[in-house]
Every structure is written in C-alpha cells, then in structure tokens.
Structure 1
Amino acid sequence: MSSKDKRRHVRTAFACRIKIAHDSIGELLVKTRDISDGGVFVVLEPEHIPPVGTHLQGQVQGLMEDAPVLMMEVVRVEPAGVGLRFVQDE
C-alpha cells in the first residue's frame, strides 16, 4: 500500500508562503507545495529539514492580515521538503 493510500485527506496543489519557526531552524519563510484538511507540504532546503516528530509553528503569509499561528508536526521527509500535520490542541 502506498503512502497516498493511507492518507485520510485529499491533497490539493496550492502554492503560498508560510512562515515556520522552531528553535533548531529559527524562522523561515517557505513555499507550500500542497495542502489538505490534515496538513501541508512545505519546500525546504536540505540543511533546514527538521527530523520526523519535530513540532513547529506555522503561519500563512499574505492571504489574510491576522492568520492564526498553528502548531504542526513533521510527519514525512522528502529531498524537496517536509510533510507537516496540523496538531490539534492536545
């Protein structure tokens, strides 16, 4: 079974800018590749890719004035970037 078969949410190609922040990488302004109700894939340079399981903050830039800051978890790493899952209040 491929990873696409395991997904609960349909992914939609969507390019926007998102600011991500974590102590290990600081604050970075990155581009998204796709998004779903459950998460987002962001394009990152290899030296900025945090390990799977890392929790970081993200905020969409330029679409609305006061976009919420969301907690996200790295769930997939690829050479082009990382798949982030939106973390619900736990």
Structure 2
Amino acid sequence: MAANDRREHCRTAMSAKVKVTHDSSGEFVFSTRDISDGGVFIVVDNEPFAPELGDKVKVQVQGLPVPAPVLDMIVVRKTNDGFGLQFDESVN
C-alpha cells in the first residue's frame, strides 16, 4: 500500500446493487465497486445523492432470493464518482 493509504482492510472488487437510505436525501439504488471487512464503495454517478462525511446511512443488498439484512453505515470518503461507506460498529 502507498504511504498515504490508511485503509486497514484489503478491498475486493465486487459489483452488486445496494439500496442506500439517507434521512434527508431519501432512498437510492447504487452499484458497488468494491467491498472489504470495513466497508463498501458505492458508485453514485449523476444521482442527487450528496451526504456529508460522517452522515449515517442504511444499506441493503438487492437482488438476492431472500431479503438481505439492513446495515448501518457511515459516509467516510467522497470521490468524483461515489462514496466510501464504513460499517457502523457502534450499532448492534
């Protein structure tokens, strides 16, 4: 890893559809770019989804044969094409 890369977990490329719910922005379906033990990166493109760093969101994988659990996550990174979300370990 580069010296300025502070990631704790190895990322794995993974494309999946996820529903992301934000208290003020609403509900969206995005694709993931990668996932790790610490979180997931969602590709937002031109959607009107603009949370602040530190905002909490709920995330649920879509398209499975049974409903996936809804996970609490925190927005920790913003790039030109999406957001890095970290699993919220303060929620049980």
Q: Same fold (TM over 0.5)?
A: yes
Cα root mean square deviation, aligned: 1.4
1:46–1:78 Cα change, 3 Å? farther
| Aligned-partner SS, 2:9 | coil
Higher share in helix: 1
Match of 1:14 in 2: 14
Deviation at 1:51, TM superposition (A): 1.0
Deviation at 1:46, TM superposition (A): 6.1
Match of 1:76 in 2: 77
CA distance in 2 between counterparts of 1:64 and 1:58 reads 17
Calculate the TM-score normalised by the size of structure 1: 0.89
| Aligned-partner SS, 2:24 | coil
1:58 and 1:70 in contact (8 A); partners too? yes
1:20 and 1:59 in contact (8 A); partners too? yes
Match of 2:39 in 1: 39
Match of 1:56 in 2: 57
1:59 and 1:70 in contact (8 A); partners too? yes
| Aligned-partner SS, 1:40 | strand
Please identify runs of 4+ aligned residues in structure 1 that moved more than 4 A: none
Identity between Structure 1 and Structure 2 (%):
47
Deviation at 1:22, TM superposition (A): 1.0
Number of residue equivalences: 88
